[in-house]
Structure 1
């Protein structure tokens, strides 16, 4: 009996399998062949000609998965990713443009300064949500979400009026100076991918090998016990949210300096990197290493969805439905299906 229990699939594989089964039933009802649709998703994501697209989509999505996973590891939810990624992208575009006008600097130095400023600005913006909870009693779930609106509104106004590139009819800034873009190194490997890989390795190391990582996990399991053990949870919340926001800012900087080469209003919000990343972090239960894998899985699912729609005219919204079903099943398993929350633990 014990051996049979050990062979039973975990909640995440079971949720993925359930999502695929429900998606297949939906396709059958609509008159489409689920095997053909799923084959197109796999080929669209992993075929050699499509691998670059999957990797390009995975960089921001994995980054936002990691940004969401850090506070979630400690039982906190950061819903302000949209505002943080926008702040990071805006700062990453504006800093090199106007710094180059004032001081002639090499392109790589402009890019480095832009990225550091983007991470700092987004980290401080995210930390405001932690201050709202620890000092004013505003739940972080609410304050982090509400802070996105002024961030998006202010950057939209600045891009549309005082900092707008008047040579185009679009709401966007001037392009960053030549040399400040993040280059491709070889094949699909870019400087943005290298930077994100370094950050992923650092976060996983802190989570598994350091005292702050252990204390954050302890808080996620039982905050009262963590406080009883001497963990300064208010300072911890500030640190976790700053790190989360800084990574979101890095993602915004990578997209701006590597893809668009300028800040475009709405370009960082419309792909829903934040919400897909949050779903990936929930699927991983806040574990940073698993969040990276879940983010890559969702990126492949979305890239494959585009290919499926292009090849067999099945709407790509199916990939988003699959994501939602998978998260729903995981939530039911942990929230309703017998899993114990922090209040249930002694």
Structure 2
């Protein structure tokens, strides 16, 4: 095997190498926590793998849970790869799901028109919701992380208000704040009859391909990556960084909103308050994006693994004395390790940027850092 082939294989495996390293280290920490409970880590992890991938039912259940994680991970990767560190995927997903459920049930006309309008207006609504955070950053220099985080809470309670006071389903359990169920004719069909997995997973796979192509084979993707490397250099070179900001944050909101739409059309068939929050789809998706280095292919595999940890954790809780929270510990450790890696890279980059000045470099030189994140927005 020649060196060129080895380089190609290394380049292909790069998107999934970082996630597996972070997950391996997290599993080591999880093993220590399991030992504290008096159980064998090997037996517990065997049950976890079986409960996530051990049969057709468990595998398809894991892929169903992975679907919104993949999509929200792609939405996070789009803005984070451009160095716009928004964390509003949860609020955008809520907006998409809420609008889809309401429009899909109440919009007049034939079913095909209901479905079309539900999808289009839901994606527009979630995109505009994300666009609002971009406007706050542009006009008032408001921290994007803070504004998007607060908009998560705002989105959840705005949807709850309208569901509880306008669109509440009074025919079912009065304790649940939820809309009425959409008609069967506009629901996503199952990939395997009798199983949970629906064609939303196929949409997620297609979206992985499209986002990869956009980020790596289009002018817009190139300009967004350059904005992530050095926004000042982009402005100097004629790239409109403001247009990139608005475009990437809006597109990110549209994609995260699509995750909510697919959950309504393929899983829940209605919007229920707090469903997306308790499941933490957007936050797990953000973790998948971070530990994959914003690579869509890496996000796909990482999301499936993270979903498997959740479904496998439920199997552990049913079959052993180890609590369900062990899966949360593992996911938290994955986030911790990837955050440590990012912090180390940022520190090294800061030293590299400072070294030319110490060596007598001109203060007017334009420096292009080797990795993303020179300017935290």
Same structural fold, with TM-score higher than 0.5 when normalized by the shorter chain: yes
Greater Cα offset, 16-25 or 90-99: 16-25
Cα separation, 1, equivalents of 2:185 and 2:53: 31
1:64 offset after TM fit, Å?
Answer: 1.2
Cα separation, 2, equivalents of 1:206 and 1:136: 30
Q: Which runs of 5+ in 1 are unaligned?
A: none
In structure 2, the CA distance between the partners of 1:251 and 1:288, relative to structure 1 (3 Å rule), is: same
Is the contact made by 2:83 and 2:227 (CA closer than 8 Å) also made in structure 1?
Answer: yes
- State the Cα deviation string for residues 89-120 of structure 1 (Å, max 9, x = none): 11101112121xx32x1x34422321121111
1:176 offset after TM fit, Å?
Answer: 1.2
Greater Cα offset, 180-189 or 310-319: 180-189
The reply on whether 1:41 has 2:48 as its aligned counterpart is yes
Match of 1:175 in 2: 181
User: Which TM-score applies when normalising by structure 2?
Assistant: 0.84
The reply on whether 1:120 has 2:127 as its aligned counterpart is no
1:80 offset after TM fit, Å?
Answer: 1.1
The reply on whether 1:247 has 2:255 as its aligned counterpart is yes
Cα separation, 1, equivalents of 2:271 and 2:237: 45
Match of 1:61 in 2: 69
1:343 offset after TM fit, Å?
Answer: 8.7
User: Which TM-score applies when normalising by structure 1?
Assistant: 0.91
Match of 2:325 in 1: 317
Cα separation, 2, equivalents of 1:150 and 1:224: 33
Is the contact made by 1:85 and 1:251 (CA closer than 8 Å) also made in structure 2?
Answer: yes
CA RMSD of aligned residues (A): 2.2
The reply on whether 1:163 has 2:163 as its aligned counterpart is no
The reply on whether 1:266 has 2:270 as its aligned counterpart is no
Is the contact made by 1:126 and 1:241 (CA closer than 8 Å) also made in structure 2?
Answer: yes
Cα separation, 1, equivalents of 2:39 and 2:277: 32
Match of 1:148 in 2: 152
Cα separation, 1, equivalents of 2:120 and 2:203: 12
1:195 offset after TM fit, Å?
Answer: 2.1
Is the contact made by 1:68 and 1:277 (CA closer than 8 Å) also made in structure 2?
Answer: yes
Match of 1:129 in 2: 133
- Number of residue-to-residue matches in the alignment: 336
Cα separation, 1, equivalents of 2:246 and 2:151: 15
